[in-house]
């Protein structure tokens, strides 16, 4: 029996953006179809019937954040597969295999669900603007003030919100190495603490620098620290009733 080899054919036409249309007919040219329809819909792959080449691969994506119905992928009115899950993607290849499945030769070669959220333990850098269509959430980081600000008293780089605990008003929390534009919000409950920069002698806080300089933060206070230069932070304090209380002066 002769062996038949099928070589994948990737089409070069731009992505076919289906939008929210209820019925989508493949244009016969694109290697990728994207549907953002929330409700049930149909994607027909037989628009180019009779002209499809063996090995043609199409990737079909359903990207709506909260789908209410499946996207049914059909050939000749017969369902090949469905995309029912958020960010579910299927790749199908045309291979006229004459099997007993009435799919017109379209075979599923992969089907995956892309994550709706991504958790990374490393630092990610984007060289272009990033748009969040639903929103972004920074996780709160716990910090415990220590006698000298080391260990649990030092805020890690990249932190956005800090929940501070402190056994006494003289314990210390240390800001990370300055990165211009960074903003860090800290909140403390029952006991206050002292806030320092990572290099008090050379990195100022509210225009004050010097060895051992620290800013007293009272109990139940929110403080927002903004890095304005490689050697300076500006801090604003807010009471537990939302009233600005001034930044304060380190001593």
The Cα 107–Cα 8 span in angstroms is: 12
Percent of the chain at pLDDT > 70 equals 84
pLDDT digits over 76-121, tens only? 888 888 888 777 888 888 765 555 554 557 888 888 876 656 666 6
The Cα 41–Cα 24 span in angstroms is: 8
pLDDT digits over 38-81, tens only? 889 999 987 655 567 777 888 998 887 667 888 999 888 888 88
Q: Does the global pTM surpass 0.85?
A: no
Top-ranked range on mean pLDDT: pick from 88-97, 108-117, 137-146, 222-231: 222-231
> Are 189 and 178 spatial neighbours (Cβ–Cβ below 8 Å)?
no
The Cα 181–Cα 159 span in angstroms is: 13
Which has the closest alpha carbon to 35: 78, 93, 95, 82? 82
The whole-number pLDDT of residue 4 equals: 46
pLDDT digits over 118-127, tens only? 666 667 777 7
pLDDT digits over 153-196, tens only? 999 998 999 999 999 999 999 999 999 999 999 999 999 999 99
The whole-number pLDDT of residue 1 equals: 45
Q: What is the DSSP letter of 175?
A: P
Tell me the domains of the chain and their CATH numbers: 9-113 (2.60.120), 140-238 (2.60.120)
- The predicted model gives 10-34 an average pLDDT of 85
The whole-number pLDDT of residue 218 equals: 96
Mean per-residue pLDDT of the chain: 85
The DSSP code sequence of 105-155 is TEEEEEEEE--SS---SS----SS----SS---PPEEEEE-BSSS-GGGBP
Q: Kindly compute the dihedral angle of the four CA atoms of residues 16, 17, 23, 26, in this order, to the nearest 10 degrees.
A: 0
| 202 pLDDT more than 90 | yes
């Amino acid at each position: 029996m002769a062996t038949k080899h099928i070589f994948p054919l990737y089409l070069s036409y731009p992505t076919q953006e289906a939008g929210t249309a209820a019925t989508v007919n493949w244009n016969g040219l694109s290697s990728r179809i994207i549907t953002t329809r929330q409700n049930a819909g149909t994607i027909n792959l037989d628009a180019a019937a009779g002209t499809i080449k063996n090995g043609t691969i199409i990737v079909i994506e359903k990207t709506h954040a909260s789908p209410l119905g499946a996207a049914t992928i059909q050939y000749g009115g017969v369902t090949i597969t469905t995309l029912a899950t958020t960010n579910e993607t299927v790749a199908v290849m045309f291979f006229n295999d004459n099997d007993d499945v009435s799919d017109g030769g379209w075979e599923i070669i992969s089907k995956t669900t892309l994550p709706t959220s991504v958790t990374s333990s490393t630092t990610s850098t984007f060289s272009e603007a990033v748009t969040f269509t639903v929103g972004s959430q920074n996780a709160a980081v716990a910090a415990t003030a220590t006698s000298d600000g080391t260990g649990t008293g030092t805020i890690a780089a990249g932190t956005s919100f800090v929940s501070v605990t402190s056994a006494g008003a003289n314990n210390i929390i240390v800001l990370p190495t300055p990165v211009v534009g960074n903003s860090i919000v800290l909140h403390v409950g029952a006991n206050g603490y002292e806030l320092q920069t990572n290099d008090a002698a050379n990195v100022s806080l509210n225009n004050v620098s010097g060895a051992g300089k620290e800013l007293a933060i009272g109990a139940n206070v929110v403080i927002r620290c903004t890095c304005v230069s490689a050697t300076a932070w500006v801090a604003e304090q807010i009471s537990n009733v939302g009233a600005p209380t001034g930044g304060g002066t380190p001593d």
